[in-house]
Amino acid sequence: MIYTPRIDPDAIAALDVHVHIEADHHGRLSLDAELMEASARYFKAGQDRTPTIDRVAAYYRRRNMAAVVFTVDASTELGHPALSSEEIARQAAEHADVLIPFGSVDPRRGPAAVVQARRLAQDFGVLGFKFHPSLQGFAPNDPACYLLWRALEELGSVALFHTGQTGIGAGLPGGRGIKLRHSDPMLLDDVAADFPGLTMILAHPSVPWVDASLSIAGHKSNVYLDLSGWSPKYFPPQLVRQAGGPLRHKVLFGSDYPVLTPDRWMADFAALDVKDEAKPLIYKENALRVLGLAEGPSRLDAAVTG
């Protein structure tokens, strides 16, 4: 079954662009036990740490929200088998009123990753792809990755990249070998410049490189930011100012569920000094445009207004 979105933009209160599927219906996990436990400690995650896609769909449907769902294929770097993006897409198709599937491919698989990405987009209907450079162990501006970025540009797929620090491996000796420098957003500035037709989302506040992400999003029309992974009460002040002002057309609501719930995110965001007219843009309108689910200016032509 190929995914065809059935999202009603008028029926949803928000669109969460950052939701992890960390377990499949067979009980397989996206990470090994040590990394999963370290992540849970870092985020102080609740009991429902590994909901299946059916439970995720029910969770968001109860809240009148839609959600972008994905896993991360880091099988080369971690030696741990990835969850199936194909299966995630198939199951998301059964919940197309609330779920939007992104795929994940391992860039270190070279041409095989390109073949898989094309298949996921063309045969399964995924609207984008999630990458985690630190977890997957690659530098996004490595020329070896450019065949993949060119393919995603040709497919019209959205590329969502983890940026900044990560809770995966946090508190372990050497962070389990996970290198934060791969998630420096300035590496993605090269990709955005070299592939101007590729719509990119830089995920999270990008600490310790928040100013870099803000600069890139302000400079390049094909780059957006999602606000996932942190409670908004901890957002750096310059991020709050930009999100509610000059970059209000370029930032997207994301929670990082299940480690951070949309309920907590929304409650904490409501307490920020963000103008009311910016909130609908952030909650859903920008994401609907970026994902091609609403009429309006092309996502590559979206204005950044002050």
Comparing CA positions, the residue from 301, 304, 287, 300 lying closest to residue 19 is 287
Q: Structural domains in the chain?
A: 14-290 (3.20.20.140)
Query: pLDDT at position 106, please?
Result: 98
* Interatomic CA distance for residues 93 and 53, integer angstroms: 11
Query: pLDDT at position 302, please?
Result: 40
* Interatomic CA distance for residues 91 and 98, integer angstroms: 12
Tens-digit pLDDT string for the chain (306 aa): 899 999 999 999 999 999 999 888 777 878 777 877 777 777 776 667 788 999 999 999 999 999 999 999 999 999 999 999 999 999 999 999 999 999 999 999 999 999 999 999 999 999 999 999 999 999 999 999 999 999 999 999 999 999 999 988 888 999 899 999 999 999 999 999 999 999 999 999 999 999 999 999 999 999 999 999 999 999 999 999 999 999 999 999 999 999 999 999 999 999 999 999 999 999 999 999 999 998 654 444 443 333
Query: pLDDT at position 45, please?
Result: 62
Return the bridge partners of 202, or none: 161, 225
* Cis peptide bond N-terminal to 208, omega within 30: yes
Query: pLDDT at position 46, please?
Result: 61
Query: pLDDT at position 33, please?
Result: 77
Interval 26-50: pLDDT, tens: 778 787 778 777 777 777 766 677 8
Query: pLDDT at position 1, please?
Result: 80
10 Å Cβ neighbour count for 66? Answer: 33
Q: What is the DSSP string of the chain?
A: --------TTT-SEEEEEEE--B-TT--BSS-HHHHHHHHHHHT--S--S--HHHHHHHHHHTTEEEEEE----HHHH--PPP-HHHHHHHHHTTTTTEEEEE---GGGTHHHHHHHHHHHHHH---EEEE-HHHHT--TT-GGGHHHHHHHHHHT-EEEEE-S--STTTTSGGGGG--GGGG-HHHHHHHHHH-TTSEEEEES--TT-HHHHHHHHHH-TTEEEE--SS-GGGS-HHHHHHHHTTTTTTEE----BTTS-HHHHHHHHHTS---GGGHHIIIIIHHHHHTT-S-SS-TTS-----
Interval 154-181: pLDDT, tens: 999 999 999 999 988 888 999 899 999 9
Comparing CA positions, the residue from 258, 291, 265, 267 lying closest to residue 19 is 258
Rounded to 10 degrees, the C-alpha dihedral 227/232/238/243 comes to 50
Residue 22 · residue 71 · CB < 8 Å: yes
